[in-house]
Amino acid sequence: MRISKAIVTVFGALFAALGLSFAAHNPKVQDALLTKAARTQVARNNKALLGDDALRVAICGSSAPLPSPDRAKACVAVMAGGKVYIVDSGPESTKNLMRWSLPLDQVGGVLLTHFHSDHIGDLGELNLQSWVQGRAAPMPVYGGPGVEQVVAGFNTAYAQDEVYRTAHHTAQLLPSAAGTMIARPVIMPEGAGPRTAVVMDDGRMKITAIETNHAPVGPAYAYRFDYRGRSMVVTGDTTAWAPLVEASRGADVMVSEAMNREMVANLQKVTGESGRPRVSHIMHDIQSYHVSPTEAAAMANTAGVKLLVFYHLLPAPDNAVLRAVFTRGVDDVRKGRWDLSRDGSLYSLPVGSPDVLIGKVAD
């Protein structure tokens, strides 16, 4: 009697499933798989992203306050010269940094664009995790006047947690003196034209704060990073703002927030019709102090930016249809390259080259 190939395939699949089921319930197999997974996790190391051969930018949070299942809130990691600088620390973003095995003990500082909750909500966790990984000194947090209050609040909220961890793991491993944050207010000078202030300049990396317009929220800053002939700007939340364009001239990359007003206006209408007037009112208000994708494209054109990257996406375009709607009209405006980021998007600017490379953080 001949047995058909279909029957053989079915029985083969059945026996394979039974074998897997047996293996999954076998303690020795379980332990072996667990050990293999642990070794894989421990072996993962993205320290090379901090090398001095390039200025690298990773999006560790690409969404705005509206929930998105696959996106953390606003966070950008800028890496070069053995250090990582974090622009904003939105909720869930530290999870991404840890999942990618970035060496958080090498955080050179956090730069807050402003003090909205979706930009500061993970600051305590970032401080804790970088301390646990071996950061040897208090973590500097830069921002406009008011950053002192933000930092003091997080330090107070985490004070007991730090006491517990030092007591449990010893002061030699987790010295309490290194476990806090220290506020570094950035004060803008008076005067006409773009209002900027140098945050730090070590001879290779120069970080400049740029005053933006997010009224009634203030202060609100963008940050420009210049490293060995390569440069990038993170806008934070802003409107289309001529002084920001001026201060961004010649940058290789502009990482710009983006809100699609038509989509938000639709949310305003639908929530109002659905008996949710408070949400509808908020959807109305937020349309006035963000930049649209096409406005960001125009800013990047005028600034002569090579690559425009959209982040802080409002609302988050989490499928193909939403992405098409969100970026509608960008190709008609933008005279150059652009990219719609996701968590893990990586942009590399090799030193001594004009290239701007688009990739993904290995996880």
User: In the predicted model, is pLDDT for residue 40 greater than 90?
Assistant: no
pLDDT digits (tens, 9 = 90+) for 62-85: 999 999 999 999 999 999 999 999
Between the alpha carbon of residue 100 and those of residues 42, 85, 89, 93, 251, the distances in Å are: 11, 15, 16, 11, 27
Higher pLDDT, 164 or 192: 164
What mean pLDDT comes out for the span 257-274?
96
CA distance 295 to 308: 12
Mean pLDDT, range 352-357, rounded to an integer: 97
Task: Report the pLDDT value the prediction gives residue 275, as an integer from 0 to 100.
Answer: 96
CA-to-CA dists, residue 205 to 86, 202, 232, angstroms: 14, 6, 12
Closest CA to 299 of 347, 350, 342, 334: 334
Residue 252 has pLDDT above 70, yes or no: yes
Provide mean pLDDT across the span 216-245. 97
31 pLDDT more than 60:
yes
pLDDT given at position 363? 78
Average pLDDT over residues 313-341: 97
Q: Decide: 316 and 66 in contact? Cβ < 8 Å.
A: yes
Low-confidence winner among 40-54, 55-69, 211-225, 239-253 (lowest mean pLDDT): 40-54
Model confidence at 295: pLDDT above 50? yes
DSSP 282-293: HHHHGGGSS--H
Residue 191's pLDDT band (cuts 50, 70, 90): confident
Q: How confident is the model at residue 13 (pLDDT cuts 50, 70, 90)?
A: low
Average pLDDT of the chain to the nearest whole number: 93
Going by pLDDT thresholds of 50, 70 and 90, the confidence category of residue 165 is: very high
**Helices (H) then strands (E): counts for the chain:** 13, 15
The whole-angstrom separation of Cα 112 and Cα 252 is: 22
* CATH ID of 46-92+99-114+189-360, from 3.60.15.10, 3.40.640.10, 1.10.3720.10, 3.40.50.720: 3.60.15.10
State the Cα–Cα distance between residues 338 and 138, nearest whole angstrom.
37
Which is higher by pLDDT, 188 or 20? 188
How confident is the model at residue 39, as a pLDDT? Answer: 74
Q: What Cα–Cα distance (Å) separates residue 244 from each residue in 96, 144, 209, 213, 303?
A: 29, 16, 10, 9, 9
Amino acid (one-letter) located at 157: A
Question: Number of C-alpha atoms within 13 angstroms, CB side, residue 297?
Answer: 19
pLDDT of residue 23: 67
Cα–chain-centroid distance for residue 328?
24
Poorest-pLDDT segment among 15-24, 269-278, 300-309: 15-24
CA 305 to each of CA 59, 235, 236, 260, 337: distance values in angstroms, whole numbers, following the listed order: 18, 13, 17, 21, 9
User: For residue 14, which phi and psi values (nearest 5 degrees)?
Assistant: -65, -45
Burial of 40 (0-12, 13-18, 19+ CB in 10 A): exposed
* Residue 8 reports pLDDT greater than 60: no
pLDDT, residue 259, reads 97
Is the separation of the CB atoms in 207 and 85 below 8 Å? yes
Q: 234 to each of 109, 143, 150, 210, 309, how far by Cα in Å? A: 15, 14, 21, 10, 9
| Longest Cα–Cα distance in the chain | 94
Residue 15 has pLDDT above 70, yes or no: no
Contact 51, 348 (CB under 8 A): no
- Confidence band, pLDDT 50/70/90 cuts, at residue 43: low
- Please state, in angstroms and as integers, the Cα–Cα distance from residue 211 to each residue in 7, 241, 253, following that order: 70, 10, 18
- Residue 26 pLDDT level (bands cut at 50, 70, 90): confident
**pLDDT tens by residue, 304-320:** 999 999 999 999 999 99
**Concatenated DSSP letters for 202-239?**
-SSEEEEEEE--BTTB-S-EEEEEEETTEEEEE--S--
Higher pLDDT, 194 or 143: 143
pLDDT score, position 1: 47
pLDDT score, position 337: 97
pLDDT band at 232 (very low <50, low <70, confident <90, very high): very high
Q: DSSP string covering 161-186, please?
A: HHHHHHHHH-TTTS-GGGSSEEEEE-
Alpha-carbon torsion angle 115, 121, 123, 129, nearest 10: -170
Distance CA 229, CA 290 (A): 30
